[in-house]
Amino acid sequence: MCAAYDVTPRALRFYESKELITPIRQGLRRLYTKRDRARLTLILRGKRFGFSLEEIRQLLDLYNRDVGHRTQLQRTLELARERLHHMERQRDELTEAISDLRAELEAGQAMLTAGHQDHAAQ
């Protein structure tokens, strides 16, 4: 399971402790069902998109209660739209910061170059 999903045993135990996955226990071994694998896929995808574990838990819980999955899909879309808006805002802020830093670097380099030329002329 760790190799298939590129997660550590500790991460799996953490998700299990949070009751996000519920493998079958046989002594010290854990057997992961198709359901656990599907849930882990959704957990990892949710984390990649920046959802909190609590948001992921709520969506997974909705899946269990919502036979037609309409409520889960509506909530997922709502959270995804919010997350996308947040990520786009972060991207815009980062783009602006990168632009500002480039301008500062160029100004600093120009000062160094001008200072080097002043010393060479003396």
Residues with Cβ within 8 Å of 117's Cβ and at least 6 positions away in sequence, in order, are: none
Give the pair of three-digit tokens for residue 30.
């854990």
pLDDT value of position 62: 77
Per-residue pLDDT in tens (0 to 9) along the chain, 122 residues: 899 999 999 999 999 999 899 999 998 899 999 999 999 999 999 999 989 999 898 888 877 665 667 777 888 888 889 999 999 999 999 999 999 999 999 999 999 998 777 666 65
CATH topology of domain 1-65: Multidrug-efflux Transporter Regulator; Chain: A; Domain 2 (1.10.1660)
Q: How far is CA 15 from CA 29, 72, 88, 96, in A?
A: 16, 20, 28, 37
Q: Would you state the pLDDT for residue 67?
A: 64
Distance CA 120, CA 122 (A): 6
